Amino acid sequence: MKLSQSLALLAFAFIVSALFKIMHWPHSDTVMVVAFVLEAVAVVLLIAKLATHPKVKEFLNR
């Protein structure tokens, strides 16, 4: 699974956890925290991947 697909899946999980929270279902806090932490980890990995890519400097210098 690509990192972009993981981000999309985790964004969907975060939206579902927000719906759990709106509906006042049990364990919605836990689901939301887990989804947020996983999405934050995925974003950090994406930033690290972009920072180490050789063509990023060319793109940023345009």
Distance CA 15, CA 2 (A): 20
Q: How confident is the model at residue 62 (pLDDT cuts 50, 70, 90)?
A: low
3-state class (DSSP) for residue 13: helix
Chain Cα centroid distance, residue 36: 7
Domain encompassing residue 10: 3-61
In this prediction, residues 5-31 reach a mean pLDDT of: 89
Whether 49 shows a pLDDT value over 70: the answer reads yes
Provide the domain count of the chain.
1
Residues ≥6 apart with Cβ < 8 Å to 47:
none
Average pLDDT, the chain: 86
